[in-house]
Amino acid sequence: MRWLLVGFVFLLVACGSEGNPLANTEWRLVALGNADAPAEVVGGNPTAEFTTAEDMTGWTGCNSYAARYRARESELRLDDLMWTEAGCPSQALFRQEQRMQDALATVERFEVSGEQLTLHSEGGQVLVFERAAQ
């Protein structure tokens, strides 16, 4: 009976992230901005890491962030988005961070294509990531 219970719990955990292609993935931001022509990232090595089926963390190039997320089919919602508030070493990184924060705050959907993740936000903004080497 105990082995049956252990097997059932294992099955629940395994199935919990199976339908979520973002769970346990790590990405590096390469472009952001208007979907028609997103601008290349100016530096700072911004990231997004979906650490579990519900939690994500990342780096903007100046500050770290964290959020709870819900991914269902192609829909994505970030909740409880929090940022640290350190300064940026340059105006270019500061402007890039502001655009990244604005886009993350209004993410509506995502798409994974090969080694690329695109987050789509309100107003036609996108964040384009490449899978980080592991």
The pair of structure tokens assigned to 51 is 């650490």
Quote the mean pLDDT of the chain. Answer: 88
pLDDT digit string, tens, across residues 40-65: 999 999 999 999 999 999 999 999 99
Determine the 3-state secondary structure of 93 from DSSP.
helix
Confidence class of residue 19 from pLDDT cuts 50, 70 and 90?
confident
Place of tokens 């049956």: 4
Determine the 3-state secondary structure of 99 from DSSP.
helix
Question: 2-131 has which CATH code?
Answer: 2.40.128.270
Confidence class of residue 5 from pLDDT cuts 50, 70 and 90?
very low
Strand partners, 78: 69
Report which DSSP code applies to 124.
Answer: G
pLDDT digit string, tens, across residues 65-115: 999 999 999 999 999 999 999 989 999 999 999 999 999 999 999 999 999
Distance CA 7, CA 14 (A): 10
* Domains in the chain: boundaries: 2-131
pTM of the predicted model as reported, rounded to 2 decimal places: 0.84
